[in-house]
Amino acid sequence: MVWRVQPLKLLLLLLVMVGVALSATDADAARKKKRRHAAPPAPYVEKYAAIVLEANSGRVLYERMSTELRYPASLTKMMTLYLLFEQLQKGSVTLSTPLTASPYACSQEPTKLGLKSGETVSVEDAIRALVVRSANDVAVVVAEHLGGSEHQFAARMTAKARELGMANTVFTNASGLPDTSQRSTATDLAQLSRRLIIDFPQFYPYFRGQSFYWGGRSFEGHNNLLKFFDGADGLKTGYTRMSGFNLASSATRKGTRLVAIVMGGRSARDRDIQTAELLEQEFSKLGLGRPTPVIMAMSPLVLD
């Protein structure tokens, strides 16, 4: 009797051991499969990039990670404005041409002007709204008027980027609202800044605007360097959580104009101070520095 029971127990024990081994193997395989299918790490973990160049010649004076892909955020609107300035120059639109807001344009996420469907805004007010307010709804209004749809306009934006030598830039929308496919580099955005200055001297002064009045409201701009940095004369700010705080800046001293791009700042104040320090550093090398240090008193609460 004992002799018969022992083999049975042995068999059961072997079966249990095999089951445990198979379960472990299955669990290990499942873990490996999960690792294989895990989402890739988020792109552009390192957000910072910077470049300073001499505007007339395009000569690079300073750069750090300037060709690495970054999210442009509202620096995108510089290309939207470039294409709008082109149409103004050609006479296809005038500063008084009314642009009509669609339901889609009105549905854009803030920051925006707050247009209602069917409401119109003149081209000149649209320019000011893009520069000062960084209005996402207005960016789409411009895109739809010039391109038929934002998607078609974005294709034109990318084509123009290639024409301007911006080899690493892709636009998918007119505003800079978050999109993982929309990308650029500090080098490309510096080139775009230069071309805005060189190609449209009659329209570039709009980038100096610090306030904008429309619809009974007054809007204040986000470009603090215009208030605090000697010689600063314009361009654009940008911010999304994906991009960090971006700034395209131009400053002129004694006829020498420098363009600086800083991307991925940790705050608006951090971005502004970095930009000011880089510009001051390069002006100093050219013999155009200031004897007193750059003093920045910008609020850290600015979000674009």
Q: Which residues are catalytic?
A: 74, 77, 134
- Cis before 292? omega within 30: no
- 54 CB-contact burial (10 Å; exposed 0-12 / middle 13-18 / buried 19+): middle
Q: DSSP code of 110?
A: S
For the chain, how big is the Rg over CA atoms in Å?
Answer: 27
User: In 3D, which of 46, 47, 57, 44 has the Cα closest to residue 191?
Assistant: 57
User: In 3D, which of 84, 94, 173, 90 has the Cα closest to residue 136?
Assistant: 173
Q: DSSP code of 46?
A: S
Task: Phi first, then psi: give them for residue 51, nearest 5 degrees.
Answer: -155, 145
Q: Rounded to an integer, what distance in angstroms lies between the CA atom of residue 222 and that of residue 220?
A: 7
Amino acid at 232: A
Q: DSSP code of 164?
A: T
Residue 47: which residues within 8 A CB-CB, separation 6 or more?
70, 71, 243, 244, 263, 264
Q: Rounded to an integer, what distance in angstroms lies between the CA atom of residue 49 and that of residue 45?
A: 12
Task: Tell me how far CA of residue 149 lies from CA of 78, 141, 156, 241, in angstroms.
Answer: 18, 9, 11, 26
